[in-house]
Chain A
Amino acid sequence: MSLLSIEHLSLSIGDTKILHDVSIDVCPGEIVAITGESGSGKSLTALAVMALLPRGSVTDGHIFLENTDILRTSERDLCRMRGCSMGMVFQEPMTALNPVQTIGDQVAETIIIHEKTSKLDANIRATAMLRRVGLNVNPSRYPHELSGGQRQRVVIAMAIALRPKLLIADEPTTALDVTTQATILELLKDLVTEFDMGLLIITHDLAVVAEIANKIAVMQDGHIVEAAATYDLLHNMRHPYTKSLFNAATHKVILPEYIPAPPLLSVESVTRTYNLPRVTVFGSRPTFQALAGVSFHISHGERVGLVGESGCGKSTLTRAILGLEEIQEGQILLDGQPVFTKKSLNLPARRKMQVVFQDPYSSFNPRHRVDRLIAEPLHVLNDSIVGKYREKAVSKALEDVGLTPEDGTKYIHEFSGGQRQRIAIARALIIEPELIIFDEAVSALDVSIRAQVLDLIAGLCRKRQLAYLFISHDLSVVRTITDRVMVMQSGKIVEQGDTEQVFSNPQHAYTQKLIAAAPKLPEVTYNVEVI
């Protein structure tokens, strides 16, 4: 008999219908994954099981946990169930813990509120549970002293402290680095076997789904479009949406061939050290070396990728190249000119470089119209372009990225995330730069939108000679969109070379670890009978 069975669950908030007739079963010891793009309703399904839906939610159907229908249980009894027979792990480990309470107390709290036991006993059990989830730090530590992966272990320890029958994990590894992600997934799998729990995992990452789940449910617009055992689903996909989703995730673009050319950007033994706050009162300030002698170059028309985990110095390097960050040693030259001279930006060099950032929602000033936003880089040109020509340049940039000139008169909130990223590219293109920095430019996008934006970038490369530095934590994307790749660790570039070669035959131990940790989507086959 199944442990959790969601039967014909419908949910609406206000007048908006969010979920339609959702049915899912989870058995003890089984891992069931719900996947889909943002807005598909997968997270709300998870919250419905915990009965932690937002105010004003109206539900219909049944959610049985063993024999209790959660939708028809009083709040008092639900509180007894949460943390005891069902636990939950959230996406954002940085904010999921109370900043002013020790991690030991937070884990012990789960035990104290459900069992009549002494504080001492709860603390001992909490410490043991923290060890069990692989966290060997003092339980009297505070959350801010731990890394993201460590905090996620604390959240897991809290959720399973009473060995619940059901664990729900909402994007548990999305905010983590690949190597950390691998260990957390491993931990979750072990816990499921050891405790004979049911695990309902919500994730947009199909590779994670394929790797961990016994059963997969694909959601779109509040419907479950397809649900089957993992192997069956991967090798016998029926629904067109599932297919398009998996297609997009493994999307490959066709880049024009790179013709060797003279260097455009050269970064020469660049060093950036930060001063940290003093630890003792009169001691010298400790320092942190974000960049330790980084050297590389990008040639005209060359597409280079940069991968590495958080804290490796990627963002400092990006900011240094853009001239937003001072460097202490070394130099950065663009076409032979330094990007940064004596505290001020070097405008002639600026004209050859533009940037596209990660977050399509924070990339634009919400108070300006799109045409003004796109025209902003024209500021760096000597004789600023005015009137008709400016209008033409804006229209052309919009058309280049697949939008219409009329879109220039709208405001940014009228566009979706994918469209905004197109507008960001249009803004970068308007001064026809030689080099574009893509700083995690597709990381915030859903897979299908991501595929479109990658196609757009490849298309631009075919139209004109364009060099770019593509920074991403997503190895599969870097693999398809670059000619050459650099791997960064602790402020150094540990390996660089031809993209295919590095990925198929990594030399450095760190690169090997990174590639091994990244979850891979297995070859999928499609059922040809159904259209």
Chain B
Amino acid sequence: MRLEARKLSFRYHRKQPWILNNCNLSVETGSRLALVAPSGYGKTTLALLLSGYLQPTEGEVILDGRPLPQKGICPVQLIYQHPEKAINPRWRLRQVLEDGGQMQEEIFPAFGIQREWLNRFPGELSAGELQRFCVARALLSGASFLICDEISTMLDVITQAQIWNKILEEAKNRSMGIIVITHNLALATKICDQIYDLSKQEYRDKSS
């Protein structure tokens, strides 16, 4: 399967400047692409467009030769930067996982999710612990593509490594495609096959 952005442009209003202009890129399932750019170049907007949260002003998002479906479970799932905003504070964490789909308890140990957390409220866990639930939720939905928007920025390095190892392992098992948005070039070089620089709108040499 192939996720493609064709001549993607976006602005919030006719009188406002373009946030994204004529952006082309593509990812295959099983491959990993890093998106890098300084702040304000529309990395998050691109992520929202690719996962169907926003509709492009011009151009289109193509999944497997067809436009991205608007109804039903989206095969492209986005994981946000702030897990505490992406989880309803009045839900118990069991509900959060069930939102993704059928509960699979065998993935808990790998993500460091403890069973007793399931009955707690989000306010009782740390951001790093909540992010594991967001990742697990996205994986449970059976998505073919995962977009990770700065998901490990607020985590300590050990937790970062744990989460990324797990995501990469799951992505390999399920042959998912991954788009990683990050400011951390070292991370991008380490885990991705390709790096796309949104500020220059071109693929970047991994060695440089």
Q: Do A and B share a complex?
A: no
